[in-house]
């Protein structure tokens, strides 16, 4: 069952509740619905987490948690998925987003060497911000929608598989007994 698979990878909810950046939400994160594992909460959490992963701002984990609370989707999954864009993956992912935005806007792609400095942000970002942000929004939206569909499909197929297996075992048990 998908629930068993997911539980193996999730950290303890007490650890997440005590996370220093998530304490700003106070008692809101104590809502038990934020910790449930069901088809709706997990697929929604994938949508929130992947969408926020492509938002080019710091503290994406806090944004994912802030979105998970009113949407009542699984908070740990939402917060964990933003780490798809980490310091190692950000440059190629965000460059890909920039290229997608430039393609949609039909503007030429600049050859950019990314540096994490204020000077680079002030000089280079001014010329690429529109295709970059559009690309981030498009990739974030696409990822959120597609992940939601895939997770719901996977969850449903696993449940149907489990039902068939249960029926098969019951049938065998009746034939033996």
Give the model confidence (pLDDT) of 25-48 as tens digits.
776 777 777 877 888 999 999 999
Q: What is the pLDDT of residue 58?
A: 85
Q: What is the pLDDT of residue 175?
A: 84
Residues with Cβ < 8 Å from 16, sequence gap 6 or more?
Answer: 22, 29, 75, 76, 79
Q: Is the pLDDT of residue 16 over 70?
A: no
Q: What is the pLDDT of residue 22?
A: 67
The structure's pTM equals: 0.78
Q: What is the pLDDT of residue 110?
A: 82
Q: Is the pLDDT of residue 171 over 80?
A: yes
Instruction: Quote the CA–CA distance of 46 and 79 in Å, as a whole number.
Output: 9
Longest Cα separation, the chain: 78
Instruction: Quote the CA–CA distance of 78 and 65 in Å, as a whole number.
Output: 7
Per-residue pLDDT band at 125 (split at 50, 70, 90): confident
Averaged pLDDT, 47-54: 96
Contact between residue 147 and residue 45 where contact means Cβ atoms under 8 Å apart: no
Which DSSP category does 107 fall into?
-
Averaged pLDDT, 105-125: 77
Q: Is the pLDDT of residue 132 over 60?
A: yes
Q: Is the pLDDT of residue 1 over 60?
A: no
Per-residue pLDDT band at 98 (split at 50, 70, 90): very high
In terms of average pLDDT, the best of 93-97, 117-121, 139-143, 153-157 is 139-143
Per-residue pLDDT band at 73 (split at 50, 70, 90): very high
Distances (CA, A) of 59 to 24, 54, 65, 74: 13, 12, 10, 18
């Amino acid at each position: 069952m998908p629930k068993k698979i997911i539980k193996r990878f999730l950290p303890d909810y007490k650890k997440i509740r005590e996370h220093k950046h998530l304490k700003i939400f106070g008692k809101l994160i104590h809502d038990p619905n934020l910790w449930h594992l069901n088809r709706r909460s997990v697929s929604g959490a994938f949508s929130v987490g992947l969408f926020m992963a492509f938002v080019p701002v710091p503290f994406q984990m806090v944004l994912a948690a802030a979105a998970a609370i009113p949407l009542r989707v699984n908070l740990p999954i939402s917060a964990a998925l933003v780490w798809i864009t980490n310091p190692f993956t950000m440059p190629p992912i965000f460059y890909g987003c920039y290229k997608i935005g430039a393609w949609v806007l039909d503007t030429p792609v600049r050859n950019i060497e990314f540096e994490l400095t204020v000077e680079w942000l002030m000089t280079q970002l001014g010329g690429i911000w529109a295709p970059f942000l559009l690309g981030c929004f498009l990739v974030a939206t696409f990822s959120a929608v597609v992940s939601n569909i895939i997770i719901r499909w996977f969850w449903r197929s696993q449940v149907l598989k489990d039902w068939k297996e249960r029926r098969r075992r019951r049938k065998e048990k009746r034939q033996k007994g």
